[in-house]
Structure 1
Amino acid sequence: MTVIDSNTLADRIEDLLPQTQCTKCGYPACRPYAEAVARGEANYNQCPPGGAEGVARLASLLGKPVIPLNSANGIERPRPVAVIDEQVCIGCTLCMQACPVDAIVGAPKQMHTVIAELCTGCDLCVPPCPVDCIAMPPVTGEATGWDAWSPSQADAARERHNRREARLAREREAAEARAAARRAIGTAPAADAPDAAKASNVATTTANAAAPAAPAADDAEAKKRAIIQAALERARQKKEELAAKGQGPLNTERVSADVQAQIDAAEARRRRLGLAANDVNNADDANEADTPSTKH
């Protein structure tokens, strides 16, 4: 019996995955799922975007029988694309932070837009949206699974995901370096204090350069609050309409730890402000939810 190296096998499995990075398989991205399958820790029928054909491809590679897609991970369906309701969006940036392939562009308190040709239909931008302004309409007709996707699209999505992960790693390292420089002020010997202070000043300057500028005047701030208040009021009305129809947010059961942490942080901000979990009719809450830590 030939033994296949698990790393090499993981590479071959990953090449057969659609690279939507949707986490429906139960893993944070396609690569960790491929590694788990290679180690025998996950089954090869847990990828809804790949559908039945995806299961068949993996079964052929692994020399195993073709089995049905595990319904616990989702269903095979036409590929959707995220669409943001511009009349409801409040520019909180949470959808941008959740998108695994940087397919959403925008700025804090500004309208966000989905680049349709880059969207993998992963659904991950839906749960963190505090005003439920993102829809996921299907765009491939009756085509599902690999009939609704292509190897070239998968390769492009994987490249964007890898670039995003590398960028986030650099940002984390930079943040840690700034924190270390600040700590050095209190721990460095007196002779080294000027150097520590200089490092801290550089870090502070860098952080300030990345931070959004403060409003130039009170009337500008008041205008921003009025715009946000109007958007939140529209969002409240839309939520009431959806509730009356028995509709609600999508994909709220299986989200990655990072996305869930963003949702939890938003709820914590609401509690800190003394707001109910479902109360979006407050401009201060929108300001608190403005966390442009991820650059696009």
Structure 2
Amino acid sequence: MKENLLVAEIDAILPQTQCRRCGFPGCRPYAAAIVEGRAEINQCPPGGEKGVRKLAELLGVSPMPLNAAHGISNPEEVALINEQLCIGCTLCIQACPVDAIVGAAKQMHTVIAAECTGCELCVAPCPVDCIHMVQANRQPPVTWDKSLGGLNTGLEYEREKAAADRARSRYQFRSERLEREKQECQERLAQKAEVMALGNGSSAAVNLKKATVQAALERARTAYAQTSKKNNNAEPSTGISFPNS
């Protein structure tokens, strides 16, 4: 139970880009790996040095430099699709971990910029190279706070947290949807196999009946032929005896 709570606390710090640069399939699996000692706290480029410091503070360990083997921390970016080049293959839709790309097969696709986490997972699958990453146009809210005697930088934190919470929800919703669709597909296949098995059983029963009837007919024909042959070979008898001369 304590480990689950700690995983949730670590996951709450991670930026929820679901980019897999950490070496795990998502932010929560990475959080679980940290708790289990299978990963370090410096494997999340989107979280940057700030994220490393927050994780270190939570876990009571010393901060460490961001591991460059997992990438470097860049300004926030979002995906942009060149809609004139898009062929509607849907590969980017399938790759997006938060369902931030909309479109249909053989139809133009577009990115919902407000929901894009900048994971870049849609870039590589594109067969026509029509997806590029551009700097996100998300201006941090800036207000003057009299109580602080300066700018209220806490609003930026609130924006980032709200975006991360929304991305987490979308990721979980997509994961649940894919699992549900997988189960429904398996159920349909099982039902189809059952129907086919019943159909094959019915066909076998029909074939058995036909074979039984055919065998009976063959026996009847054989018996009739034998009877006819016996009658034809027998000499006729009048029942009258003639005296010897």
- TM-score using structure 2 length: 0.72
Compared with structure 1, are the counterparts of its residues 140 and 51 closer, same or farther at alpha carbon in structure 2 (3 Å cutoff)? farther
1:161 and 1:50 map into 2 onto residues whose CA distance is 17
Counterpart of 2:60 (choices 54, 60, 63) is 63
2:123 counterpart letter in structure 1: V
2:40 is aligned with 1:43: yes
1:63 and 1:35 map into 2 onto residues whose CA distance is 17
1:52 and 1:164 map into 2 onto residues whose CA distance is 29
Compared with structure 1, are the counterparts of its residues 52 and 140 closer, same or farther at alpha carbon in structure 2 (3 Å cutoff)? farther
1:20 and 1:127 map into 2 onto residues whose CA distance is 16
2:191 is aligned with 1:181: yes
Aligned counterpart, 2:210: none
1:186 and 1:139 map into 2 onto residues whose CA distance is 53
Aligned counterpart, 1:32: 29
Which one has a bigger Cα radius of gyration?
2
- Tell me, which stretches of 5 or more residues in structure 2 are unaligned? 141-155, 203-245
Q: Which aligned pairs between 1:118-157 and structure 2 lie closer than 5 A?
A: 118-139=115-136, 150-157=160-167
Write the deviation string for residues 178-212 of structure 1: whole angstroms up to 9, x where unpaired: 11011113434848xxxxxxxxxxxxxxxxxxxxx
Q: Which aligned pairs between 1:200-211 and structure 2 lie closer than 5 A?
A: none
- TM-score using structure 1 length: 0.60
Write the deviation string for residues 14-67 of structure 1: whole angstroms up to 9, x where unpaired: 011111111111000111001000111110110111000000000001111011
1:11 counterpart letter in structure 2: A
Shift of residue 6 of structure 1?
A: 1.7
2:119 is aligned with 1:109: no
SS of the aligned residue for 1:150 comes to helix
SS of the aligned residue for 2:164 comes to helix
Q: Once the two structures are aligned, what percentage of the paired residues are identical?
A: 54
Shift of residue 74 of structure 1?
A: 0.6
1:185 counterpart letter in structure 2: V
1:66 and 1:41 map into 2 onto residues whose CA distance is 17
- Tell me, which stretches of 5 or more residues in structure 1 are unaligned? 192-296
SS of the aligned residue for 1:135 comes to strand
2:5 is aligned with 1:8: yes
Shift of residue 141 of structure 1?
A: 8.8
Which structure shows the bigger proportion of residues in strand conformation?
A: 2
2:170 counterpart letter in structure 1: R
Report runs of 4+ in structure 1 exceeding 2 Å deviation: 139-143, 185-191
1:111 counterpart letter in structure 2: M
Compared with structure 1, are the counterparts of its residues 25 and 140 closer, same or farther at alpha carbon in structure 2 (3 Å cutoff)? farther
1:44 counterpart letter in structure 2: I
2:72 is aligned with 1:78: no
Cα contact 1:78–1:140 (8 A) shared by 2: no
Shift of residue 5 of structure 1?
A: 2.4
Aligned counterpart, 1:22: 19
1:68 and 1:112 map into 2 onto residues whose CA distance is 38
